[in-house]
Amino acid sequence: MGLEELYKEIQPKMYAFFYVKTQSREAAEDLTQEVFYEAVKGHGSFRGDSTVRTWLFGIAKHKLSKYYRSKKYGQELAAKLAAESRESVTPEKQVLDREDRDILLERIFRLDEGSQEIVTLRMYAELSFREIGHIIGATENSVRVRFHRIKLQLHKELEGYYER
């Protein structure tokens, strides 16, 4: 697979991963570009111990950690919270799909950090259990079992939410 095809396949998943983690389009775009820039710059460091996708998401995990530690993240989060508190809620803004997505994301963010990572890498980055295991340093089977348990937990929480 050529570099262009690889980029076309992975870029949307990388963007979705960052968007879910940052809730910012700009940050997701910037971080996605940083990952691919870092990959091109450091392609010689790829030893082939994993797939290219796994290697790229390993870079993404590092970039995300660095982003969270930066002042920029704190400023963007504060600005987003301030903007949300100023917005008036209208019926037009409350589209059912968006509400459902927001509820799911809220539940995901309530999970511990490791569980959040497994869910976002599986659902939004669409990585295999083996690839996720390689990134987080766990076996494929343990990731599969953990994801299944998390999925059951989220399903149960969402059922409870909609029964109200």
Residues 1-59 pLDDT 10s = 667 788 888 999 999 989 888 888 899 999 999 999 998 888 777 777 888 888 888 89
Residue after which a domain boundary falls, among 52, 72, 87:
87
Structural domain count of the chain: 2
User: Per-residue DSSP letters for 130-150?
Assistant: HHHHHHHT--HHHHHHHHHHH
Q: What is the pLDDT of residue 164?
A: 58
- Say if residue 10 is in the same domain as residue 82: yes
By the 8 A CB rule, do 119 and 147 touch?
Answer: yes
- Say if residue 2 is in the same domain as residue 69: yes
**pTM exceeding 0.85:** no
- Say if residue 104 is in the same domain as residue 141: yes
- Say if residue 113 is in the same domain as residue 63: no
- Say if residue 70 is in the same domain as residue 94: no
Q: What is the pLDDT of residue 73?
A: 59
Higher pLDDT, 47 or 81: 47
Q: What would you report as the CA-atom Rg of the chain, rounded to the nearest whole angstrom?
A: 17
Domain with 104 in it: 90-164
CATH of the domain at 47: 1.10.1740.10
**The CA-based dihedral angle spanning residues 129, 132, 133, 137, taken in that order and rounded to the nearest 10 degrees:** -170
- Say if residue 54 is in the same domain as residue 99: no
Predicted confidence band of residue 90 (pLDDT cuts 50, 70, 90) = very low
CATH of the domain at 147: 1.10.10.10
Structure tokens at 81: 């919270």
Range 72-90 average pLDDT = 56
Q: What is the pLDDT of residue 149?
A: 94
- Say if residue 46 is in the same domain as residue 26: yes
Q: What is the pLDDT of residue 141?
A: 95
